[in-house]
Amino acid sequence: MAIGKTANNASALSQKPSKSKLRREIARHRSVYLLALIPLVYYIIFKYVPIWNAQIAFKDFMAVRGVVGSEWIGLENFKTFVNSFYFWSLIRNTVMYSVGKLLISLPLSIILAICIYECTRPVLRKVVQTLAYLPHFLSWVIMYGILLALLAPGDGVVNDIIKLCGGHAVDFLSNVKTFPWVVLFSDAWKEMGWSAIIFIAALMGIDVSLFEAAMVEGANSWQRVRYITLPAILPVIVTVLILKLGTILDAGFNQIFMLYSPQVYSVADIIDTWVYRQGLLEFEFGLATAVGLFKGVFGMILVLFANWLSKKITDSSLF
Partner 1 sequence: MKKFKSILMIALVVLMALPMFASGSRETAKAAAGTPEDPVTIDLWFGAAVTEAGMIPDDWVGYEIIRNKLGIDLNLTMLPSNESDQDVRIQAAGAANSLPDLFMVRRPVLTNLVKQGLVAQVDDCFDKMPVRTAQQYDANSIAHTTINGHVYGFASPGAIARNEGLLIRKDWLDNLGLEVPMTIDELIEVARAFTFNDPDGNGRNDTYGYGAFVETDATLKGYPGSRLWPIMGAYGVEGLWCFDSENAGLNIYKPEFYDFMVTLKAMCDEGIIDPNWLSYKKDDFRAAWKQGRFGIMYEQNAAYAATANYAPFDANFPDGEWIVIDAVAGPEGHAAIGAYDMNYRIYAVSQKAADAGKLDKICELLEWMSSDEGYYLLGWGQEGVNYVIEDGIPVAGDLGDAAFTGPDGQVYTQLRNMVFYNGDVELASRYPTYVTEVSGKTMSALVTLREMQEKKWTSAIGSGTMPTPNADVQRYYDQSLAEFLTGARALTPENWQAFIDQFNAIGGEAWNASGVAKMQEDGLIH
Residues 231-270 that bind partner 1 (CB under 8 A): 261-266, 269
Q: Give the distance from CA 6 to its chain's centroid.
A: 57
Selected from 57, 58, 59, 61, the binder of partner 1 by CB under 8 A is: 61
Selected from 199, 274, 291, 307, the binder of partner 1 by CB under 8 A is: 274
What are the backbone angles phi and psi of residue 40, rounded to the nearest 5°?
Answer: -65, -45
Q: Using CA atoms in the order 249, 255, 259, 263, what is the torsion angle rounded to 10 degrees? A: 0
Q: Which has the closest alpha carbon to 51: 246, 249, 279, 293? A: 293
Closer residue to partner 1, CB minimum distance, 17 or 145:
145
Selected from 7, 36, 37, 138, the binder of partner 1 by CB under 8 A is: 37
Q: Is 78 in the site for partner 1 (CB under 8 A)?
A: no
Q: Is 272 in the site for partner 1 (CB under 8 A)?
A: no
The distance of closest approach from Cβ of residue 150 to partner 1 in the complex, given in angstroms and rounded to an integer, is: 11
The distance of closest approach from Cβ of residue 293 to partner 1 in the complex, given in angstroms and rounded to an integer, is: 16
DSSP string, 131-199: HHHGGGGS-HHHHHHHHHHHH-TTT-HHHHHHHHTT-----TTT-TTTHHHHHHHHHHHHHHHHHHHHH
Q: Is 25 in the site for partner 1 (CB under 8 A)?
A: no
In sequence order, the β-bridge partners of residue 59 are 72
Closer residue to partner 1, CB minimum distance, 148 or 206:
148
Selected from 54, 55, 62, 219, the binder of partner 1 by CB under 8 A is: 62
Residues 129-168 that bind partner 1 (CB under 8 A): 144, 148, 152-155
Backbone conformation region of residue 61, classed left if phi is above 0, alpha if psi is from -120 to 50, else beta: beta
Q: Is 174 in the site for partner 1 (CB under 8 A)?
A: yes
SS3 232: helix
Provide the 8-state DSSP code for 229. I
Q: Is 86 in the site for partner 1 (CB under 8 A)?
A: yes
The distance of closest approach from Cβ of residue 282 to partner 1 in the complex, given in angstroms and rounded to an integer, is: 7
The distance of closest approach from Cβ of residue 151 to partner 1 in the complex, given in angstroms and rounded to an integer, is: 8
Selected from 2, 34, 123, 165, the binder of partner 1 by CB under 8 A is: 34
The distance of closest approach from Cβ of residue 169 to partner 1 in the complex, given in angstroms and rounded to an integer, is: 6
Q: Is 194 in the site for partner 1 (CB under 8 A)?
A: no
Checking DSSP bridges between strand 59-60 and strand 71-72, what pairing results, if any? antiparallel
Residues 114, 181: Cα–Cα separation, whole Å: 25
Residues 55, 53: Cα–Cα separation, whole Å: 5
Q: Is 302 in the site for partner 1 (CB under 8 A)?
A: no
Q: Around 102, how many Cα atoms within 13 Å sit in the side-chain half-sphere?
A: 20
Q: Is 116 in the site for partner 1 (CB under 8 A)?
A: no
Q: Return the axis-axis angle of helices 87-118 and 230-246, rounded to nearest 10°.
A: 150
Closer residue to partner 1, CB minimum distance, 144 or 194:
144
Closer residue to partner 1, CB minimum distance, 91 or 148:
148
Q: Which residues bind partner 1 (CB under 8 A)?
A: 30, 34, 37-38, 41, 45, 61-64, 66, 84-86, 144, 148, 152-155, 169, 171, 173-176, 261-266, 269, 274, 277-278, 280-283, 285
